[in-house]
């Protein structure tokens, strides 16, 4: 079991939950071998393990009060599926299991974001009213069990089986058998509306499902024209911090629309930007790419009428708002750096770790580790010449919450490297 030492706990809301639920703890269930271990089954299938993220209903004021109500607890259930490679996001846990082999032992582990425990797709899930799966088995739980899984290696899973109970016996089966529904209904979570870059689900139709995409206030991208720009930026140069420091883990994945990065930082080494007339500090959340079918198109923004073959977006959230979820409620909650790439006769060696990783993510939901990469490699040498405007996300839901900084200087990429980009939507 893992508990947090945090003043403001992470929270869960939406997805037809009645109110906000504050995070309490997460824990694992596993079996003696890979044929079993999960507590729930999906379409008759058992999984080798299951993660439970336990939350309590905030409106009840405390955990002690919440457990008196049949909707007092909300648990997210995530199935573990075997992979040949380690799940790097779980390393802070597995690197420390040997320190808690005996019952009641505890150890402090490096912090990491809880969404690292979730599948990429959190819109497909089962929902039902149930109970705790350990004594006292109180029937107070709103269960959300995701259909998509999280990967775990054979080696990592085997480490769980080295733990012992209070009598010195190995913990090799830590799951409860499935229980009868007794007339209860299991509901399916609502999927987000499908969108694409091509008709009939392309940008011209996005507003049908995502009304903000049809706004005439501050949608992005835009055509950037030097002659029409006003003001003199920046009064203070744009600064980066830890852009030259490799992150603890960098995962590139195909989300079905683009190639996007997930970042895990070492404590205190979070990459961020500040200055350049931004109002405050913004921490790097993720980066992704936009490209076209040939070298003549691909960028979302245009500069003085020119379109580029590739555009990189480095997405940051405003740290003064305390969390990513909170920053999404404000018009300046996100700051995105837009970087154009131009075709070069030679390969760009700085991009090669990303290019090599792309070969492993041709299919949606595939992911791969990017080795030895720094975010500075995505930037041109000069980052002080740029366009600035208030805009939106460029994909649904098109929220108008972005401060855009589109750099005028470009980075090189060869046609050969660009050809390695997955031939999916971009």
Beta strands in 93-191 (DSSP E): 125-130, 141-146, 150-153, 187-188
Residue 365's closest CA among 192, 91, 122, 114?
A: 122
Q: Which of 246, 270, 242, 241 is nearest to 374 (CA)?
A: 246
Bridge partners of 315, per DSSP, are 286, 336
| H, E, C per residue of 317-343 | EEHHHCCHHHHCCCCCCEEEEEEEEEE
Cross-strand partners of 144: 76, 127
In degrees rounded to 5, what are phi and psi of residue 196? -150, 180
Q: 143: which strand partners?
A: 75, 128
Q: What is the dihedral of CA 123, 126, 127, 130, to 10 degrees?
A: -140
From the list 341, 355, 306, 337, the residue with the least C-alpha distance to 405 is: 337
Burial profile 154-167: b = 16 or more Cβ within 10 angstroms, e = fewer: eebbebbbebeeee
Q: Give dist(CA 178, CA 393) in Å, integer.
A: 43
Taking CA atoms, 363 is separated from 120, 197, 254, 289, 407, in Å, by: 14, 17, 7, 16, 31
Active site residue 362: no
Q: Is the peptide bond before 234 cis (omega within 30 degrees of 0)?
A: yes
Among 40, 257, 290, 362, which one carries the catalytic annotation? Answer: 257
Q: Are 197 and 213 in contact (CB under 8 A)?
A: no
Which residues are part of the catalytic machinery?
257
């Amino acid at each position: 079991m893992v508990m947090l030492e945090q003043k403001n706990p992470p929270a869960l809301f939406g997805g037809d939950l009645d109110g906000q639920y504050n995070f309490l703890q997460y824990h694992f269930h596993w079996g003696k071998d890979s044929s079993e271990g999960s507590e729930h089954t999906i379409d008759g299938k058992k999984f080798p393990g299951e993660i439970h993220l336990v939350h309590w209903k905030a409106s009840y004021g405390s955990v002690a009060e919440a457990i008196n109500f049949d909707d007092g607890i909300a648990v997210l259930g995530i199935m573990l599926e075997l992979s040949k490679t380690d799940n790097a996001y779980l390393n802070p846990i597995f690197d420390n299991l040997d320190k808690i082999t005996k019952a009641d032992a505890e150890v402090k582990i490096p912090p990491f974001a809880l969404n690292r425990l979730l599948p990429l797709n959190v819109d497909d899930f089962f929902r039902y009213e149930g109970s705790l799966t350990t004594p006292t088995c109180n029937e107070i739980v709103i269960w959300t069990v995701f259909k998509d899984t999280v990967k775990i290696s054979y080696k990592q899973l085997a480490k769980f089986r080295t733990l012992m109970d209070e009598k010195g016996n190995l913990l090799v089966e830590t799951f409860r058998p499935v229980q009868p529904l007794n007339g209860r209904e299991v509901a399916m979570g609502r999927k987000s509306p499908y969108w694409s870059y091509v008709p009939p689900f392309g940008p011209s139709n996005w507003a049908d499902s995502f009304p903000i995409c049809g706004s005439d206030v501050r949608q992005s991208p835009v055509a950037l024209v030097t002659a029409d720009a006003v003001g003199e930026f920046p009064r203070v140069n744009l600064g980066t911090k830890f852009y030259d420091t490799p992150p603890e883990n960098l995962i590139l994945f195909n989300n079905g629309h683009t190639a996007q990065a997930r970042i895990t930082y070492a404590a205190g080494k979070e990459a961020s930007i500040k200055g350049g007339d931004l109002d405050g500090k913004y921490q790097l959340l993720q980066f992704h790419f936009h490209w076209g079918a040939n070298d003549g198109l691909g960028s979302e923004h245009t500069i003085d009428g020119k379109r580029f073959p590739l555009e990189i977006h480095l997405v940051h959230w405003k740290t003064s708002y305390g969390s990513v979820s909170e920053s999404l409620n404000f018009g300046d909650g996100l700051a995105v750096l837009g970087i154009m790439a131009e075709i070069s006769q030679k390969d760009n060696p700085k991009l090669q770790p990303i290019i090599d990783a792309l070969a492993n993510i041709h299919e949606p939901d595939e992911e791969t580790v990017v080795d030895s990469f720094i975010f500075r490699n995505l930037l041109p040498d000069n980052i002080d010449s740029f366009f600035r405007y208030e805009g939106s996300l460029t994909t649904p839901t098109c929220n108008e919450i972005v401060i855009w900084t589109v750099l005028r200087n470009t980075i090189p990429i060869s046609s050969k490297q660009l050809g390695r980009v997955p031939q999916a939507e971009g």
